[in-house]
Amino acid sequence: MRALLVRDLRLALRAGGGFGLGLAFFLIVVVLVPFSVGPQPELLGRIAAGVLWLAALLACLLSLDRILALDFEDGTLDVLATAPLPLEAVLSVKALAHWLTTGVPLVVAAPVLAVLLNLPAAGYAGLVLSLALGTPALSVIGTFGAALTVGIKRGGLLLSLLVLPLYVPTLIFGAEAARRSAQGLDATTPMLMLAGISAGVLALMPFASAAVLRVNLR
Amino acid sequence: MSLWEYANPVKFLRLSERVMPWLWGLAVLCLSLGLVWGFFGTPDDFRQGSTVKIIYIHVPAALMAINGWFMMLIASLIWLIRRHHVSALAAKAAAPVGVTMTLIALITGAVWGQPMWGTWWAWDPRLTSFLILFLFYLGYMALWSAIEDPDTAADLTSVLCLVGSVFAVLSRYAVNFWNQGLHQGASLSLDKEKNVADVFYHPLLLSIAGFVLLFFALVLYRTGTEIRVRRTRALRARQGARQGSLQEGSA
Amino acid sequence: MELTLSDLSVARGGLPVLAGVSLSLAPGHALVLRGPNGSGKTTLLRTIAGLQPALSGQVTGAEDRIAYAGHADGLKAMLSVRENLTFWAEVFGTRDVERAMQAFALVPLAERLAGTLSAGQKRRLGLARLLVTGRTIWVLDEPTVSLDADAVALFAGAVRAHLAQGGMALIATHIDLGLEAAVLDVTPFRVALDGVGFGSSDEAFL
């Protein structure tokens, strides 16, 4: 399992691995927001938490099809399916690798971009914590979507259509937690719900992902 | 005789052909009775005026939108566990009907909401939940149409339906938490007191029965179509195999 | 332990292609599968490898003993030869990467990125992967594609060494590898004229 993680991280970091693309996308979306809603600091400050969450979610979505498509095309998944590692573990590791290469940079970059959007000072800790708790769920759910569409040519758009509705609860609780803490309110409940969703999908989703991947490999 | 016998497509077709005229007839009867009674035979509500009468379409459509997905969930489970093709095809057939019901519920809700709340759309938990349900239906149908092999498609969409159901329920709670909303309470419920006065209640029940019957008639009809499509495919494949082997034999 | 297929039927895309395949393969032996394109060799091999379910019949003795090599090599262009092999060695819980590289004359290429290799060199790397899996049964689908005569000889040598250690190999190929292996032509097992109706997923609709 460690070998798979190390390989995925190494591949992501080498040329053409796409590391940083999600981060750049995140930056661009955040920069575009003031152009579309206007530069008033109060307005930006009020929507900052939600915008950052939405942008992070879209940046996550962007790189989902890389989780499995390349390994499917070059036959790696066939061999992994016959390896001693259960497919559930393979997919969990792949989701972890996706989170480390996409989710973690987003969490780290979010406070910096929050400055651009004039997020109230009280909101920084809540924003980082909610993203740190929520992005694992995004990666794991996204891995399910990737496993579902891996056999479909040009499945990228379909992948978004399937995964976005599944992202709704995570987005609601995540953005709510970030928003509440930005307003200086108590964000414990949404934060706990968010953690619950992450824990739940981490535990259960790999089984669904492995089931659909097996169907797609046969 | 076991119920599972009707998992055989041919038997299923034969049965559904016998049942279908009755279903259609009853559906039309209930719907026309319920709607006419509801529209012309009941008084205007003292607060809502005549707009209240959209309830006879809105509530049944909303009910069938949810129950349509529920039916797909059960059919998907049957396919995953017992691998009856009819079940998978029935789930496939129900999706467009369900999505239409969702759309009707959303549109009639907007039409109703305009005079009542003064807005066509509000991000009220119920409305939002239906919008999310609509997206789930779309994704489900898109996945069916994206995959060529019917068995693979049935497997994948079934798992999606299962996972989607869990997330749909989660979304419902999340949305409730997110916004408290202005929608009135449920019109019908088994355990609470009736929220709807008797005069509206009976025609409403009738039109709900009509929508249920209509739903099943449409799903049966569409399932029959899907079965025939599969049958055509199977016959084509057989013919192709025959021709192929004839050519090889003569070469 | 032997690898045994009993009355195996396999399907591709819901349509049965081969039916009633029975064979057994003892340790130290190889079997070459032959048959025209589209006859179902790949489907049969994937079924044996456990990548797809059989329509009917059984495969015994295959569980966790198979190293499968299909048309694609499962290599990453941005990893070096050594990194590719080390990865697979770790996944399968072995360490002998050097021996695998020697067997396929990859030592001089060890630090090259797999993406810069020629088609034949990539293929050799893909086959070297079989050695690092440490698995007993090699299931190979057209292993000699894009290999030159020398490389084919290397490959045949590797198979021979594997068999000598009590391994087994199932190989679908069109060329003569010079192995002392039994040959099985799959043509007689092809599903006859009106193929449908043989456990096909469409059968119920006829």
Q: Which residues contact C80 (CB under 8 A, 6 or more apart)?
A: C110, C111, C112, C113, C114
Q: Which of C28, C27, C76, C69 is nearest to C48 (CA)?
A: C69
Residues of chain A in contact with residue B132, where contact means CB-CB under 8 angstroms, are 165, 168
pLDDT digits (tens, 9 = 90+) for A151-205: 888 788 899 999 999 999 999 999 999 998 988 888 888 899 999 999 999 999 9
Q: How much is the pLDDT for B251? A: 46
pLDDT band at C201 (very low <50, low <70, confident <90, very high): low
CA C138, CA A155: separation in Å to the nearest integer?
Answer: 33
Option in B139, B167, B174 nearest A161 (CB):
B139
Q: How many C-beta atoms surround the C-beta of residue A25 within 10 A? A: 20
Contact B150 C201 (CB under 8 A): yes
Count of domains for chain A: 1
Contacts across the B-C interface (CB distance below 8 Å): 47
Chains touching chain B through at least 3 C-beta pairs below 8 angstroms are A, C
CA C17, CA B249: separation in Å to the nearest integer?
Answer: 17
The secondary structure of residue B186, as a DSSP letter, is P
CB distance from A164 to chain B under 8 Å?
A: yes
Q: How much is the pLDDT for B190? A: 46
CA A59, CA A78: separation in Å to the nearest integer?
Answer: 29
Secondary structure class of C18 (helix, strand, coil): strand
Q: How many C-beta atoms surround the C-beta of residue B178 within 10 A? A: 20
Of residues B246 and B82, which shows the higher confidence score?
B82
CA A203, CA A183: separation in Å to the nearest integer?
Answer: 33
Where helices occur in chain A by DSSP H, the ranges are: 2-13, 21-37, 41-62, 69-73, 76-82, 87-98, 104-116, 123-149, 156-182, 188-217
Judge whether A138 lies within some domain: yes
Q: Domain residue spans in chain C?
A: 29-51+63-183
CB distance from C12 to chain A under 8 Å?
A: no
CA A139, CA C81: separation in Å to the nearest integer?
Answer: 30
- Closest residue in A to B165 (Cα) is A166
Phi first, then psi: give them for residue C137, nearest 5 degrees.
-105, 115
Q: Domain residue spans in chain B?
A: 3-181+197-233
Task: Give yes or no for residue C159 having a pLDDT over 60.
Answer: yes
Return the residue in B84, B245, B247 with the most chain C beta carbons within 10 A, the one to mutate for interface testing: B245
CA C144, CA C172: separation in Å to the nearest integer?
Answer: 10
Mean confidence (pLDDT) of chain B: 84
Q: Which of B154, B173, B163, B109 is nearest to B136 (CA)?
A: B163
> Do the beta carbons of residue B236 and residue B25 sit within 8 Å?
no
Judge whether A7 lies within some domain: no
Judge whether A45 lies within some domain: no
Domain covering C29-51+63-183 in this structure, CATH number:
3.40.50.300
CB distance from B170 to chain A under 8 Å?
A: yes
Q: What is the mean pLDDT of residues B197-207?
A: 80
pLDDT digits (tens, 9 = 90+) for B97-151: 999 999 999 999 888 888 877 888 888 888 888 999 999 999 999 999 998 888 8
pLDDT digits (tens, 9 = 90+) for A43-81: 999 999 999 999 999 999 988 888 888 888 888 898 888
In angstroms, what separates the C-alpha of A51 from chain C's closest C-alpha?
35
> Do the beta carbons of residue A208 and residue B162 sit within 8 Å?
yes
Q: What is the mean pLDDT of residues B21-50?
A: 83
> Do the beta carbons of residue B132 and residue B168 sit within 8 Å?
yes
**Boundaries of domain holding A98:** 65-217
